[in-house]
Copies of this chain bind each other. A is one copy, B any other.
Amino acid sequence: MINFREVYIIVEKKNKHIVVIATLDTKSEEAKYLKDLISERGHNPLVINGGIFGHSTFTPDINHGEVAEAAGRTIKEIQSFKGEGEAISAMALGVANIMQNLLSEGKVDGIIAIGGSMGTSLGLKVMQQLPISIPKIMLSSIAFTPMITPESVSIDQVMMQSVGDLWGLNRITKMALQRAAGAICGMVEEQKKEDAGEKPVIAITTLGVHNYADYCKPLLLGKGYEPVVFHSVGTNACEKLIRQGYINGLLDLSIHELVNFVCSGSIKGGEEKITAACEQGIPQVIAPGALDFFTWAGTRETLLQNFRHRNVHMHNPLVYLVQTTPEEKKEIARLLLERVNKTNGPTVFLVPLQGFSRLDREGMPFYDPAAGKEFAGVLKQGSTNRLVEAVEIDAHINDAVFAEKAAELLLEKMS
């Protein structure tokens, strides 16, 4: 029995544009197999050859000569580069430029790349330059190895470990390619259109040591806003979405990336922290959530070398939280000011005087109210931008009254 409503939905879910990126000098058999699976499913694959040398077993839609030209080079020039790293970077630039054209023509519903170490570096680089509206998959034989760093992936990356090396078709590589095709097709098919007239978005940054997001949520929903929470684990997802125009207001209540940046901790993203909202000029309330510690991902042995005199809390055997010193806290305040003084939007510092995390509270290991006061002092005295003000509140960051005040201040600035 055919259900005609279902058939209608299925037809609507076809004919999506899916870009396939591969280095066809070594991966043409695999790319052809992937392309055919995408076609069989009713979509339109477009293959771009990011490979430096020749020998593809089929003709791609965009060949490596065109990629080189899009990078302002000839393929002969790139082939003559001494370092393979330099050559693949030039190819990545070319593919990225081509992607921008395809995007503006509405010809990208999803993107998939396959590769070993060269193809993976190319694929990830290209995907990092695409907005989150485009689903992206990297099928890689080095997906989860020390070669892939958190900074090298997109904020919405899908990464698929290839069990066998992508070296010819066999039952193991075919299985991986079938799944990769299924995943990218399924992703573009399921992607719903965003509703017009949606509520303005307020981003909230947080860590597990905070619970203010739960207090803020009903307040923001009640006023017609949509809260979106970002985990301060160093992906810079919040900053990237602000730059892509998805965020209307910011409760930046965890500055954990910045703390790690100053203290050389393990969480990345400190370079970008605070800067996006300031550049875009969206209203923001900033509080020093998780100022009291930085994160150290490693064994106790590697930790002790550098920080053996500090207060240390074991989060689990591989992740330690290390207390920041009063001097580091002041340094973080100075860096905060330096960045915020350049803001183009209304900004409030909200400093809770009774502590900045679950561990920084009377009776808890990182409690240090004197250092907190010094931190607040630096902030209060340092603003040179009339858009910035500093407000103190005699509460702990996890108290309901703090969350309510933060939300209230932001809503004032947004109205």
Query: B-contacting residues of A (Cβ < 8 Å)?
Result: 2, 6-7, 10, 37, 41-42, 85, 116-117, 132, 135, 137, 141-150, 153-165, 167-168, 170-176, 178-179, 181-192, 194, 198, 201, 206, 208, 213, 217, 226-231, 233-235, 237, 241, 246, 266-267, 295, 297, 316, 318-319
The complex is assembled from copies of this chain, and their number is 2
Q: Could you tell me the distance between the alpha carbons of A68 and B316 in the complex, rounded to whole angstroms?
A: 22
Could you tell me if A241 and B172 are in contact, using CB atoms closer than 8 angstroms?
A: yes
Pick the contact of A192: B85, B178, B208 (CB < 8 A).
Answer: B178
**Residue of A137, A155, A159, A182 with most partner-chain B CB within 10 A:** A182
**What are the residues of chain B within 8 A of A231 when measuring CB–CB?**
116, 141-142, 165
Could you tell me if B167 and A135 are in contact, using CB atoms closer than 8 angstroms?
A: no
10 A–B pairs (Cβ distance < 8 Å), ordered by A: A85-B316, A135-B179, A147-B233, A156-B179, A164-B237, A167-B229, A172-B241, A182-B188, A182-B189, A185-B190
**What are the residues of chain B within 8 A of A132 when measuring CB–CB?**
163, 172, 175
Pick the contact of A176: B148, B156, B167 (CB < 8 A).
Answer: B156
**What are the residues of chain B within 8 A of A246 when measuring CB–CB?**
171-172
Pick the contact of A179: B143, B146, B190 (CB < 8 A).
Answer: B190
> What are the 5 A-B residue pairs with the smallest beta carbon separation, nearest first?
A186-B186, A182-B190, A146-B297, A182-B186, A183-B183
**What are the residues of chain B within 8 A of A10 when measuring CB–CB?**
6, 10
Q: Could you tell me the distance between the alpha carbons of A168 and B202 in the complex, rounded to whole angstroms?
A: 13
Pick the contact of A201: B6, B170, B185, B228 (CB < 8 A).
Answer: B170
**What are the residues of chain B within 8 A of A174 when measuring CB–CB?**
192
**What are the residues of chain B within 8 A of A37 when measuring CB–CB?**
190
Could you tell me if A171 and B226 are in contact, using CB atoms closer than 8 angstroms?
A: yes
User: Of all chain B residues, which has the CB nearest A153?
Assistant: B144
Could you tell me if B170 and A163 are in contact, using CB atoms closer than 8 angstroms?
A: no
Asked whether A229 and B164 contact (CB < 8 A) given A144-B159, A157-B143, the answer is: yes
A145 to B: closest C-beta gap in Å: 5
Pick the contact of A150: B146, B164, B189 (CB < 8 A).
Answer: B146
User: Of all chain B residues, which has the CB nearest A316?
Assistant: B85
Pick the contact of A226: B42, B170, B241 (CB < 8 A).
Answer: B170
